[in-house]
Amino acid sequence: MNLTLYVWRQAGPKEKGRLVQYEARDISPDMSFLEMLDVVNEDLIRRGEEPIAFDSDCREGICGACGQAVNGTPHGPRKLTTTCQLHMRNYQDGDTIYIEPFRALAFPVVKDLVIDRGSLDRIIQSGGYISVHTGGVADGNAILIPKSDADTAMDAAECIGCGACVAACPNGSAMLFTAAKVTHLASLPQGKIEAGRRVCMMTEEMLRQGFGNCGNHYECESACPKGIRVRFIAKLNREFLKTRST
């Protein structure tokens, strides 16, 4: 198939960016979206032009580095799918595709489609840890945990920190990301020691990094490639209020 691409090109963080038109020729429907960009870049290199800069690592839907806004939607049109797992069979010959970086104040553009997600790392660094020694596997299995709590923790731990929730939110909020990390640890016995301090430190760091507040639009849940639920935001709010009331 042949496609027309409009790709955001920006030489650096302080440079002005613009959408540039490219033609993607002879694209196999079995290619992933990133493989399609690889083909376009190979053609650009052959012509002596600067290739399109974009992030990728695992290309297996695990790391979240591949995040791009495809036709205005973080990670593209398919639900529960990262950009690297989006395949060209979802498009038709002759389609026009707009490709941009995630847009958020806390995600400055580094170059082209590459953004700096360090703000999410700083939220984790502020309180996303436990101080208790968990021991080995046998010690972990010796601590009885209700299945409902274990399931909640595992569901929250699926968050890969890609930033799609932030890009989808009209307020550029990182509440879903932060709530997933808080819920993951607060649901387990080992994480309850810092539970109160953690929720305060992480929410304060979230605001410091320039993220907006949650507006209950639910766009974050819709865009999340791992299906993280907004009910975790309610859990974060409960933890926060519980801490403030003591």
76 and 17 within one domain: yes
180 and 80 within one domain: no
**Residue-by-residue pLDDT tens, the chain, 246 positions:** 999 999 999 999 999 999 999 999 999 999 999 999 999 999 999 999 999 999 999 999 999 999 999 999 999 999 999 999 999 999 999 999 999 999 999 999 999 999 999 999 999 999 998 888 777 777 767 888 999 999 999 999 999 999 999 999 999 999 999 999 999 999 998 898 899 999 999 999 999 999 999 999 999 999 999 999 999 999 999 989 888 776
84 and 13 within one domain: yes
**124 burial class (0-12, 13-18, 19+ CB within 10 angstroms)?**
middle
Amino acid at 76: G
47 and 19 within one domain: yes
Per-residue tokens: 220: 């974050």
Q: What is the pLDDT of residue 15?
A: 96
> Which of 111, 130, 154 is the endpoint of a domain?
111
- Residue 22: strand, helix, or coil: strand
Tracing tokens 């992480």 back to the chain, one arrives at: 202
> Which of 111, 133, 161 is the endpoint of a domain?
111
> Which of 52, 79, 111 is the endpoint of a domain?
111
Q: How many domains does the chain have?
A: 2
Alpha helices in 143-230 (DSSP H): 147-157, 164-168, 175-186, 195-208, 219-223
Tracing tokens 């974050």 back to the chain, one arrives at: 220
Q: What is the pLDDT of residue 246?
A: 67
143 and 221 within one domain: yes
Q: What is the pLDDT of residue 136?
A: 78
Q: What is the pLDDT of residue 19?
A: 98
170 and 219 within one domain: yes
225 and 209 within one domain: yes
CATH number at residue 235: 1.10.1060.10
Sequence-distant (6+) residues with CB within 8 A of 137 are none
Q: Do 227 and 158 touch, CB atoms closer than 8 A? A: yes
126 and 213 within one domain: yes
Report the largest interatomic distance among the alpha carbons of the chain, rounded to a whole angstrom. Answer: 65
CATH number at residue 83: 3.10.20.30
240 and 122 within one domain: yes
140 and 63 within one domain: no
Q: Do 99 and 7 touch, CB atoms closer than 8 A? A: yes
* Domain extent at residue 123: 117-244
How far apart CA 15 and CA 9 sit, in angstroms, is: 10
How far apart CA 14 and CA 1 sit, in angstroms, is: 36
